[in-house]
Amino acid sequence: AQTVTQSQPEMSVQEAETVTLSCTYDTSESDYYLFWYKQPPSRQMILVIRQEAYKQQNATENRFSVNFQKAAKSFSLKISDSQLGDAAMYFCAYRRANTGNQFYFGTGTSLTVIP
């Protein structure tokens, strides 16, 4: 089975600063999808950003961007201009591309935003 590793259980950032959350994964497949999900205290799971492995260009969504390093099997999330509302648990996830609907999640990084 694929494994997804988030080595930073907790991170903090000053408001308006930039923070990077790390994620690595282990797979023998060449085609897959990677995701970052945000879970605020409300527990709702919210998709932040998605990256297709066959695309070399890094995905961006407003203040959120990723650094996708396929050879290194690394998928970090950069949050620019951090806001208080960014405080949440962030999960990295891997999805197989061509078989079924299997998802693998990391253990999460709890992000605190300091005013």
Residue 62 lies near another protein (rule: CB under 8 A): no
| Contact criterion met (CB below 8 Å) for 64 and 83 | no
Contact 107, 39 (CB under 8 A): no
40 touches another protein (CB under 8 A): no
Q: Does 64 bind another protein (CB under 8 A)?
A: no
Amino acid at 17: E
Q: What is the nearest approach in angstroms of another protein to the Cβ of residue 3?
A: 10
Instruction: Give the separation between CA 74 and CA 81, rounded to whole angstroms.
Output: 23
**By CB under 8 A, is residue 104 in contact with another protein?**
yes
Terminal C-alpha separation, the chain: 40
Q: Contact positions toward another protein, by CB under 8 A? A: 1, 4, 6, 31, 33, 35, 43-45, 47, 50, 91, 93, 95, 97-98, 100-108
